[in-house]
Amino acid sequence: MKKILFITGTRADYSKIKSLMHRVQNSSEFELYIFATGMHLSKNFGYTVKELYKNGFKNIYEFINYDKYYQTNKALATTIDGFSRYVNELKPDLIVVHGDRIEPLAAAIVGALNNILVAHIEGGEISGTIDDSLRHAISKLAHIHLVNDEFAKRRLMQLGEDEKSIFIIGSPDLELLNDNKISLSEAKKYYDINYENYALLMFHPVTTEITSIKNQADNLVKALIQSNKNYIVIYPNNDLGFELILQSYEELKNNPRFKLFPSLRFEYFITLLKNADFIIGNSSCILKEALYLKTAGILVGSRQNGRLGNENTLKVNANSDEILKAINTIHKKQDLFSAKLEILDSSKLFFEYLQSGEFFKLSTQKVFKDIK
Ligand code: UDP
DSSP 9-34: -SHHHHHHHHHHHHHHHT-SSEEEEE
Domain ranges of the chain: 2-170+344-361, 178-332
pLDDT at position 309 is: 74
* Phi, psi of 292, rounded to the nearest 5 degrees: -65, -40
* Phi, psi of 354, rounded to the nearest 5 degrees: -65, -45
* Phi, psi of 230, rounded to the nearest 5 degrees: -95, 140
**Rounded to two decimals, what is the model's pTM?**
0.93
Looking at the predicted structure, is the pLDDT value of residue 324 above 70? yes
* Phi, psi of 190, rounded to the nearest 5 degrees: -60, -40
Cα separation, 278 vs 269, in Å, equals 13
pLDDT at position 307 is: 82
Q: How far is the CA of 269 from the centre of ligand 1 (A)?
A: 9
**Looking at domain 178-332, does it have CATH number 3.40.50.1010?**
no
Q: What is the mean pLDDT of residues 84-112?
A: 98
Cα 237 to the chain's mean position, in Å? 10
Query: DSSP letter string over 124-159?
Result: T---SSHHHHHHHHHHHH-SEEEESSHHHHHHHHHT
Q: Tell me: the pLDDT tens digits for 253-308?
A: 999 999 999 999 999 999 999 999 999 999 999 988 998 888 999 999 999 988 87
Determine which residue's CA is closest to atom 13 belonging to ligand 1: 12
Which atom of ligand 1 is least distant from the CA of 131? 25
* Phi, psi of 30, rounded to the nearest 5 degrees: -130, 155
Looking at the predicted structure, is the pLDDT value of residue 31 above 60? yes
* Phi, psi of 116, rounded to the nearest 5 degrees: -110, 130
Determine which residue's CA is closest to atom 14 belonging to ligand 1: 12
Q: How far is the CA of 49 from the centre of ligand 1 (A)?
A: 14
**pLDDT more than 90, % of the chain:** 84
The residue that leads in pLDDT, 314 or 359, is 359
* Backbone region of residue 175 per phi and psi (left: phi > 0; alpha: psi in -120 to 50; beta: other values): alpha
**pLDDT more than 70, % of the chain:** 97
pLDDT at position 338 is: 47
Which atom of ligand 1 is least distant from the CA of 264? 8
pLDDT at position 129 is: 84
Q: Tell me: the pLDDT tens digits for 171-224?
A: 998 888 888 899 999 999 999 999 999 999 999 999 999 999 999 999 999 999
Distances (CA, A) of 341 to 75, 151, 309, 337: 35, 13, 10, 9
Looking at the predicted structure, is the pLDDT value of residue 336 above 80? no
Evaluate the CA torsion angle 104, 107, 113, 116 in order and state its sign: negative
Q: Tell me: the pLDDT tens digits for 225-240?
A: 999 999 999 999 999 9
Mean pLDDT of the chain: 94
Determine which residue's CA is closest to atom 19 belonging to ligand 1: 283
Fold of 2-170+344-361: Rossmann fold (3.40.50)
pLDDT at position 332 is: 55
Cα separation, 290 vs 99, in Å, equals 19
Instruction: For ligand 1, pick from 42, 285, 292, 308 the residue to mutate: most ligand atoms within 8 Å of CB.
Output: 285
Does any ligand 1 atom lie closer than 6 A to the CB of residue 175? no
pLDDT at position 340 is: 59
Q: What is the mean pLDDT of residues 129-155?
A: 96
pLDDT band at 29 (very low <50, low <70, confident <90, very high): very high
Evaluate the CA torsion angle 181, 185, 186, 192 in order and state its sign: positive
pLDDT at position 335 is: 55
pLDDT at position 154 is: 97
pLDDT band at 19 (very low <50, low <70, confident <90, very high): very high
Looking at the predicted structure, is the pLDDT value of residue 158 above 50? yes
